[in-house]
Amino acid sequence: MTDVADRATAGFRREFGAPPAGQWAAPGRVNLIGEHTDYNDGFVLPFALPLRTVAAADRQEGARWTVWSELSGETIDFGADEVDEPGRVAGWGAYVAGVVWALREAGHDVPGARLAITSDVPLGAGLSSSAALEAAVLTALVDLGGLDLPAERQPRLAQRAENHYVGAPTGIMDQSASIRCRDGHALFLDCRSEGVEHIPFDLRGAGLAMLVVDSHAPHRHADGEYAARRKSCEAGAERLGVPALRDVTVDQLDTALARLDDPETRRRVRHVVTEDQRVLDTVALLRAGRVREIGPLLTASHVSMRDDFEITVPEIDTAVEAALAAGALGARMTGGGFGGCVLALVEADAADPVADAVTAAYAEQGFRAPDHLTVLPAPGAVRLT
């Protein structure tokens, strides 16, 4: 198959009979650590994948947007009327229309445009294909229209598209990762201030590799469960009298837990508070160049997601256990949960044996065979041509 960017340009030419004015690429992500902390105003540490969504685009007259998607094979067309009424553009088109809507809502003079969209980011694997789509479209429209919207303000706008137009109550991590990540670095993001620090993450230099295993576990009620976790966290913060769970430190945790009478809320709070600390500890190790030592923090994060936040599924737990038993230095589910991918930090020469061990464990359990790839931190959204 040809390169994702070449396919976007070829698709644009075929659909619209002319070359595009440019191409904009935005990556999917994995989250190294810091799960379900973003909407609690906490800390996250994602990095961008070398898998990208590309928008080849050009301006067109008037407030009209015409969009071809390689994946669906459809071309959709909508104007300002449809955009201004959330719900009128559905399916994948809602992510595109949502970005136009959020820009217009924020007072930007959004240029009409024709776009051709291609992607290497697998759908439904928990690798942020939706944020990659939003970010590719957003950066294309910002550049085409010469809009005054610096990169640091773009994630909030893309998140608004997802929350209010698409209707998914997600935090700000995925859009920030797709837009703000840097090659060779993980993105340490404070989700309250939106301040970032680019943390060098030199896996190769440390003789290590990051294995990403796609569990292929069907997403079971993921949307409703995500919203339920978010509600529990908000209820916990309210009961504790803090603006968000970010405001509870690990030193205060026992006292805080003693004030909560609902055992489920206690578990949710414990996950978020300890997870924030694990992000800070991981960042401290990476800053000191002690990459190999982050393994136990990754595994502790997984245990917390499994036992306290209760967002893992048997396929995911099997992958983590098999990877650890085969010698991974640490392993955890990445992303929102109820399926998706597992990260395993491994010695560079152990990636294949660990992947084989996971595949064998899946066969033994009768699960559909997993896919895997090894990844290095890639750049965030960028104009290609």
Q: Is 37 annotated as a binding residue?
A: yes
39 is in an annotated binding site: no
Residues 6+ apart with CB under 8 A from 85: none
- HEC profile of the chain: CCCHHHHHHHHHHHHHCCCCCEEEEEEEEEECCCCCCHHHCCEECEEEEEEEEEEEEEECCCCEEEEEECCCCCEEEEEHHHHCCCCCCCCCHHHHHHHHHHHHHCCCCCCCEEEEEEECCCCCCCCCHHHHHHHHHHHHHHHHHCCCCCHHHHHHHHHHHHHHHHCCCCCCHHHHHHHHCCCCEEEEEECCCCCEEEEECCCCCCCEEEEEEECCCCCCCHHHHHHHHHHHHHHHHHHHCCCCHHHCCHHHHHHHHHCCCCHHHHHHHHHHHHHHHHHHHHHHHHHCCCHHHHHHHHHHHHHHHHHCCCCCCHHHHHHHHHHHHCCCCEEEEECCCCCCEEEEEEEHHHHHHHHHHHHHHHHHHCCCCCEEEEECCECCCEECC
Q: Which of 12, 16, 39, 95: binder of ligand GAF (CB under 6 A)? A: 39
Q: Does 171 bind ligand GAF (CB under 6 A)?
A: yes
Asked if 36 touches ligand GAF (CB under 6 A), the answer is: yes
Q: Is 295 labelled as part of a ligand binding site?
A: no
Tell me: is residue 133 an annotated ligand-binding position: no
276 counts as binding ligand GAF under rule CB under 6 A: no
Does 69 bind ligand GAF (CB under 6 A)? Our answer is no
Site string for ligand GAF, 73-112 (x = CB under 6 A): ----------------------------------------
**Of 41, 58, 174, 214, which is the active-site residue?**
174
Establish whether 274 is an annotated binding residue: no
Q: Of residues 134, 174, 276, 315, which one binds ligand GAF by CB under 6 A?
A: 174
Interface stretch with ligand GAF, choices 10-18, 65-73, 167-175, 292-300 (CB under 6 A): 167-175
Return the number of the residue (326 or 342) whose C-beta is nearest ligand GAF: 342
Of 35, 41, 214, 315, which lies in the binding site for ligand GAF, with binding defined by CB under 6 A? 35
- Choose the stretch contacting ligand GAF; rule: CB under 6 A; options: 87-95, 171-179, 282-290, 296-304: 171-179
Q: Which of residues 309-348 bind ligand GAF (CB under 6 A)?
A: 335-336
Name residue 371's amino acid: D
Phi-psi region at 212: left, alpha or beta (left = phi > 0; alpha = psi -120 to 50):
beta
Of 34-42, 134-142, 199-207, 325-333: span binding ligand GAF (CB under 6 A): 34-42
Nearest-angstrom CA–CA distance, 265 and 271:
10
* Among candidate residues 143, 160, 136, the one with its CA nearest the CA of residue 71: 136
* Stretch of 36-44, 104-112, 181-189, 252-260 contacting ligand GAF, by CB under 6 A: 36-44
> Is residue 307 among the annotated active site residues?
no
Nearest distance, CB of residue 337 and ligand GAF, angstroms: 7
126 is in an annotated binding site: yes
Whether 129 has a binding-site annotation, put simply, is yes
Residue whose CB is less far from ligand GAF, 35 or 120: 35
- Rounded least distance, CB 363 to ligand GAF, Å: 29
Least distance to ligand GAF from the beta carbon of 176, Å?
9
Nearer to ligand GAF, 14 or 153 (CB): 153
Task: List the binding residues.
Answer: 35-38, 69, 124-130, 162, 226
- Residues of this chain that interact with ligand GAF (CB under 6 A) are 31, 35-36, 38-39, 170-171, 173-174, 335-336
Active site (catalytic) residues: 174
